[in-house]
């Protein structure tokens, strides 16, 4: 018997909105960049280079605005130019410096890399190493490890993407656990174990109408299958697409890069809350690796949204991904014709899952 695990949330089957560059015959008001033409159709127009178009997803229109001159906030351990660019602490020697060990704190973001804000002492404390006990969440562990929390609410710090197929883990929330090599897990005979890295059962990108259309190959180790969410694209056809599974080429490349980053000594130079954030990765990894990491991360996370995008959508709604792709390609994509480069896909993959028997 093969079990399939389908999401409990994102069970939407409603019509998707349509987003596209406006037809020539449609007239816009001065400075207008989004026109809600019908209940589900949005016509778009690009703004001048010194302006941007605030995106909307609910009924209404939008007009071009001046690009705000707000510097991106950097956290302790990330590069900076002046103090105002640091979300916490001050800018010293071109890096944001936060609070040191033993200093009073209210949140982990205030503490320097290698530290977390202890809820017991309300002071910055040294992160727990791999194999160490007493953690309550991932951010109390070193940056390349997560907290394998047991029933009493505490756990042991275990390396990310390190637990092998069929090995036991304490928790399997929504059939996802980043401690597993595959990130997938299941509950077999009352025990949580890591699953295999499976791919989508159908050719991607896969169109869908509901979550029930989105399922993986069978997991040969656990004898189950997994479901992903069916999400709307920001496209001109109003179509939904299935999310990815860890064995799909795009997702597989992302998790390989994530594992490489966790294995890099410089991961320790990030604030605990920013351990895998692209901004900190960029501060401490090579340009090539940082661009590749950001590209595949966004491709994986934005898979459904970037299908069927036209030029206006690319600049107004999904520019994060397309800008990262341009940067990666410009720097030197080593394999632009690879299979995973052809479908321009990526998405958040597993949410709450429902067990169905077949």
In a domain, 66, yes or no: yes
Q: How confident is the model at residue 69 (pLDDT cuts 50, 70, 90)?
A: confident
Spatial CA neighbour of 273 closest among 97, 88, 108: 108
Q: Is the pLDDT of residue 113 over 80?
A: yes
In a domain, 306, yes or no: yes
DSSP conformation class of 167: -
In a domain, 113, yes or no: no
What domain range includes position 54?
Answer: 15-70
In a domain, 218, yes or no: no
In a domain, 355, yes or no: no
Q: What is the mean pLDDT of residues 26-47?
A: 96
State the first-to-last Cα distance of the chain, in angstroms, to the nearest integer. Answer: 7
Lookup result for tokens 């109408």: 209
pTM more than 0.95: no
In a domain, 300, yes or no: yes
- Both tokens assigned to 343: 């479908």
Q: Are 271 and 87 in contact (CB under 8 A)?
A: no
Q: Is the pLDDT of residue 163 over 50?
A: yes
Q: How many domains does the chain have?
A: 2
In a domain, 326, yes or no: yes
Q: How confident is the model at residue 336 (pLDDT cuts 50, 70, 90)?
A: low
Q: What is the mean pLDDT of residues 261-282?
A: 98
What are the angstrom distances between the C-alpha of 296 and each of 120, 143, 272, 290, 321? 38, 20, 22, 10, 9
Distance CA 33, CA 53 (A): 6
In a domain, 131, yes or no: no
Q: Is the pLDDT of residue 41 over 50?
A: yes
- Both tokens assigned to 281: 């990765």
DSSP conformation class of 296: H
Q: Which of 55, 70, 85 is the last residue in one of the domains?
A: 70
Q: Which of 70, 92, 107 is the last residue in one of the domains?
A: 70
């Amino acid at each position: 018997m093969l079990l399939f695990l389908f999401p409990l949330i994102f069970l939407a089957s409603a019509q998707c909105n349509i987003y596209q560059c406006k037809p020539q015959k449609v007239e816009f008001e001065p400075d207008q960049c989004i026109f809600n033409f019908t209940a589900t159709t949005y016509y778009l127009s690009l703004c001048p280079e010194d302006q941007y178009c605030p995106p909307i997803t609910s009924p209404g229109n939008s007009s071009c605005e001046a690009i705000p001159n707000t510097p991106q906030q950097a956290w302790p351990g990330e590069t900076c130019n002046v103090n105002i660019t640091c979300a916490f602490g001050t800018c010293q020697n071109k890096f944001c410096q936060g609070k040191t060990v033993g200093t009073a704190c209210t949140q982990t973001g205030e503490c320097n890399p290698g530290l977390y804000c202890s809820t017991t002492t309300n002071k910055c404390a040294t992160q727990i190493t791999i194999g160490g006990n007493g953690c309550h969440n991932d951010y109390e562990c070193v940056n390349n490890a997560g907290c394998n929390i047991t029933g009493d609410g505490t756990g042991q710090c275990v390396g990310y993407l390190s637990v092998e197929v069929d090995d036991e883990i304490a928790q399997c929330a929504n059939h996802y656990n980043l401690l597993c090599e595959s990130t997938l897990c299941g509950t077999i005979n009352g025990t949580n174990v890591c699953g295999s890295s499976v791919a989508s059962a159908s050719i991607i990108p896969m169109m869908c109408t509901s979550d029930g259309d989105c399922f993986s190959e069978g997991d040969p180790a656990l004898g189950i299958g997994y479901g992903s969410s069916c999400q709307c694209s920001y496209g001109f056809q109003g179509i939904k697409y299935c999310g990815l599974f860890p064995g799909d080429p795009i997702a597989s490349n992302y998790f390989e890069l994530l594992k490489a980053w966790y294995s890099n000594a410089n991961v320790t130079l990030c604030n605990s809350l920013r351990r895998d954030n692209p901004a900190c990765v960029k501060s401490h990894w090579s340009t090539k690796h940082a661009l590749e990491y950001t590209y595949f991360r966004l491709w994986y996370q934005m898979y459904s949204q970037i299908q069927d995008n036209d030029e206006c959508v690319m600049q107004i709604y999904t520019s994060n991904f397309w800008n990262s792709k341009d940067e990666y390609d410009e720097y030197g994509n080593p394999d632009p014709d690879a299979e995973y480069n052809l479908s321009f896909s990526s998405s958040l993959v597993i949410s709450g899952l429902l067990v169905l028997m077949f």
